[in-house]
Chains A and B, each alone.
Chain A
Amino acid sequence: NAGVTQTPKFQVLKTGQSMTLQCAQDMNHNSMYWYRQDPGMGLRLIYYSASEGTTDKGEVPNGYNVSRLNKREFSLRLESAAPSQTSVYFCASSRVFQEGYGYTFGSGTRLTVV
């Protein structure tokens, strides 16, 4: 089925460990986004890529890096995980970076940092 695929679905890390969350979309969308969702906080934008070759910081970028590998793939890296990064991470894509387009979301990665 067409959509946004995230891997892994679950992950437990120890404080200080690193990991990369993978995201791929097969809808030929130009723009991709990483959000984190915490209880009582809604979704907060970490980083986004308006188009292939560009990335920009969102609302909460500290402690994260991203790579727009190609048009399909947008990865999120935690270099040194901290307990405050325990969250559910969602990748999303949209056709273009322009007002008025809905986002397609992946099913999320549930990350626990101990």
Chain B
Amino acid sequence: SQQGEEDPQALSIQEGENATMNCSYKTSINNLQWYRQNSGRGLVHLILIRSNEREKHSGRLRVTLDTSKKSSSLLITASRAADTASYFCATDGETSGSRLTFGEGTQLTVNP
């Protein structure tokens, strides 16, 4: 079964708004990563947060990790139409060793 599960499955917002996506996982992890996939393309690595970190920023991206709740969130601030894509969380750790296990993704649509 999938280690990570994203929520919501789909999100539609207006340009300029913030978008928040959540990821929950089942077993202990070493790291959690977020990826973006544009339609018809491969996945692109966005950000990695280690299990001993609680928050990380990269440009308009903010990732939080709560290991006690086994959950993470990805916040995209001031969204743009170009942010329209699917977003996946991926974990490595106890169940998968160094192999990444991906969730099913959140489809984000940013309307101009």
Q: How many residues of A contact B (CB 8 A)?
A: 25
CB <8 Å contact, B102 and A102: no
Cβ of A53: which chain B residues have Cβ within 8 Å of it? none
Cβ of B25: which chain A residues have Cβ within 8 Å of it? none
CB <8 Å contact, A100 and B31: yes
Cβ of B104: which chain A residues have Cβ within 8 Å of it? 40-42
User: In the bound complex, how far is the Cα of B88 from the Cα of A89, in angstroms?
Assistant: 16
> Chain B: interface residue count, which band?
20 to 34
CB <8 Å contact, A45 and B30: no
A74 at the interface (CB under 8 A from B): no
B44 at the interface (CB under 8 A from A): yes
Name the distance in Å between B79's Cβ and chain A's nearest Cβ.
Answer: 22
Residue of A nearest to B2 (CB): A42
Binds B, one of A14-22, A60-68, A76-84, A104-112: A104-112
Name the distance in Å between A67's Cβ and chain B's nearest Cβ.
Answer: 19
B99 at the interface (CB under 8 A from A): yes
Chain B proximity mask over A21-53: 1 for CB below 8 Å, otherwise 0: 000000000000101000011111100101000
Tell which of B33, B40, B43, B48 touches A105, judged by Cβ atoms closer than 8 Å. B43
Cβ of B42: which chain A residues have Cβ within 8 Å of it? 4, 90, 92, 105-108
User: In the bound complex, how far is the Cα of B1 from the Cα of A44, in angstroms?
Assistant: 10
CB <8 Å contact, B93 and A103: no
Name the interface residues of B90-106: CB closer than 8 Å to any CB of A. 90, 92-93, 98-105
B54 at the interface (CB under 8 A from A): no
Cβ of A58: which chain B residues have Cβ within 8 Å of it? 99
Cβ of A104: which chain B residues have Cβ within 8 Å of it? 45
Identify the B interface with A (CB < 8 A): 2, 30-31, 33, 35, 40-45, 48, 50, 88, 90, 92-93, 98-105
